[in-house]
């Protein structure tokens, strides 16, 4: 153990292994709370139905001529469902990743893991991997159940491109998640920031409505969010939603946003980590 940490490739391999160990550990801990684990698979349904029922109440059915004129899709259920299905990854960023270090603090293990020879963002990345797998599984079940129940027909030919858009969106959201994780070190009421951010993102992202209905300012804000392009893209590939911008533009902007968000996220995290070690606020809550 006395030799230096090895070359770049062995270091990368070490970090990847640590990220995976974090992921496995989270699964194991999660599975010890069985009722809660089952609940997590049911909850998205209970969460989603009010949006459908609200639409039914407004329309007296599931078809909206106005929505069709705006987006090319008339089926309110299909439109809303795809939006809410993929915005589920916002939970990964704002809650799972954000909560990761605080949770270790509550377990009392934060300082124990922080003396291990891996950078601290590795733990947040491990949580991101875990939550992505977890959320992905929930989404898959949700997708099968809802499309069957409401007889929604998806364009299967678009799945690969849809997943590419989702992947880019997800990487951008990781940037956001690591910002929140960093803030948890310094702010006692980090969850308010997380809640406010996720509320803002839910409002401006075209989940259940197109960007066209948003006021000008909110439309501009939406331009900087990975969720905007992710949801628009995925709905275009799976349901054929009309696009206001070209496909290459969507992928280009998604790529640009993910680079900016990830870099910004890492910067904030490293600054907050340093701040926490200077102030000694790591184990305080």
Partner 1 sequence: MNESGHIVVQGIYKIFKKGRTDEVRAVDGVDFSIKKGELFGLLGPNGAGKTTLIKCISTLLIPDDGSVTVGGYDIYKESLEVRRHIGVLTGGERSLYWKLTPIENLRYFAALYGVPRKSVKNRIEFLLELMGLTDKATVRVEKLSSGMKQKLSLARVLVHDPPILLVDEPTLGLDPYFARFIRDFVKNELNRRLGKTILLTTHYMDEADELCERIAFMNRGKIEAMDTPVRLKQSMPQKQVLEIKCQGALDKGIFDGVREAASINVSHDDGLVYVRVNTDNPEVILSNIIELVREKAKIVSVRVTVPTLEDVFVHLTGASLKDG
Partner 2 sequence: MWVIIEEVRKSFRILLAYPVEVVFWIFSPLLWVIPLVFQGKALIGAFNSTSFGSLAGTDEFIPYVLIGAIVSTYMFSAVWSMGNSFRDETYYGTLEHILSAPVRPGYILIGKGLYNSILSTSFVIVQLLICVFIFGLNITLAKIFPIFLFLLLLIVGLYGIGFMAAALTLLIKEAHGMLHMFEYVLFLFSPIRYPVEVNPITKAISVFIPLTYALIALRGLLLNIEFNFWKNSIVLLAIDCTLLPLGLFVFRRIEKRTKTRGTLADY
Q: 111 contacts which partner out of partner 1, partner 2, none, CB within 5 to 8 A by kind?
A: partner 1
Q: Which does residue 260 bind out of partner 2, partner 1, none, counting CB within 5 to 8 angstroms by kind?
A: none
Distances (CA, A) of 124 to 119, 226, 254: 10, 19, 22
Binding status of residue 39 toward partner 2 by CB under 8 A: yes
Nearest distance in Å: CB 223, partner 1: 39
Q: Which of 145, 213, 259, 271 touches partner 2 by CB under 8 A?
A: 213
Q: Which of 27, 54, 149, 150 binds partner 2 (CB under 8 A)?
A: 54
Of 112, 126, 110, 111, nearest to 27 by C-alpha is 126
Q: How far apart are CA 50 and CA 67, in angstroms?
A: 19
Residue 2 binds which of partner 1, partner 2, none (CB < 5-8 A, kind-dependent): partner 1
With 0-12 / 13-18 / 19 or more C-beta atoms within 10 angstroms meaning exposed / middle / buried, residue 88 is middle
Q: Which does 148 bind (CB under 5 to 8 A by kind): partner 1, partner 2, none?
A: none
Residue 240 gets the label, from left (phi > 0), alpha (psi -120 to 50) or beta, of: left
Pick the closer one to partner 2 by CB: 43 or 111. Answer: 43
Distance between CA atoms of residues 124 and 119, nearest Å? 10
Whether the CB-CB separation of 183 and 268 falls below 8 Å is answered with yes
Interface with partner 2 (CB under 8 A): 33, 35-36, 39-40, 42-43, 46-47, 49-51, 53-60, 64, 66-67, 70, 76, 80, 106, 188-189, 192, 195-196, 199, 202-203, 207-210, 212-214
């Amino acid at each position: 153990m006395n030799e230096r940490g090895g070359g770049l490739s062995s270091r990368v391999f070490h970090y990847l292994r640590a990220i995976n160990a974090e992921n496995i550990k989270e699964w194991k801990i999660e599975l010890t709370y069985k009722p809660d684990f089952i609940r997590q698979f049911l909850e998205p349904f209970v969460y989603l139905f009010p949006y459908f029922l609200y639409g039914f109440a407004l329309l007296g059915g599931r078809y909206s001529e106005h929505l069709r004129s705006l987006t090319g899709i008339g089926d309110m259920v299909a439109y809303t469902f795809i939006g809410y299905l993929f915005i589920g990854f916002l939970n990964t960023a704002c809650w799972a990743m954000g909560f990761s270090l605080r949770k270790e603090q509550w377990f009392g293990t934060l300082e124990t893991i922080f003396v291990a020879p891996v950078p601290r963002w590795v733990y947040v990345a491990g949580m991101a991997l875990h939550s992505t797998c977890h959320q992905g599984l929930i989404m898959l079940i949700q997708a099968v159940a809802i499309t069957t129940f409401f007889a929604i027909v998806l364009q299967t030919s678009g799945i690969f491109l849809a997943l590419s858009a989702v992947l880019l969106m997800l990487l951008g959201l990781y940037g956001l998640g690591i910002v929140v994780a960093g803030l948890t070190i310094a702010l006692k009421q980090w969850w308010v920031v997380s809640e406010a951010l996720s509320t803002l993102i839910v409002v401006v992202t075209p989940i259940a409505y197109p960007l066209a209905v948003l006021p000008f300012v909110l439309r501009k804000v939406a331009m900087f969010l990975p969720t905007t392009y992710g949801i628009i893209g995925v709905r275009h590939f799976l349901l054929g939603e009309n696009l206001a911008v070209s496909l290459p533009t969507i992928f280009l902007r998604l790529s640009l946003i993910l680079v900016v968000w990830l870099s910004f996220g890492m910067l904030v995290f490293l600054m907050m980590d340093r701040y926490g070690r200077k102030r000694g606020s790591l184990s305080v809550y």
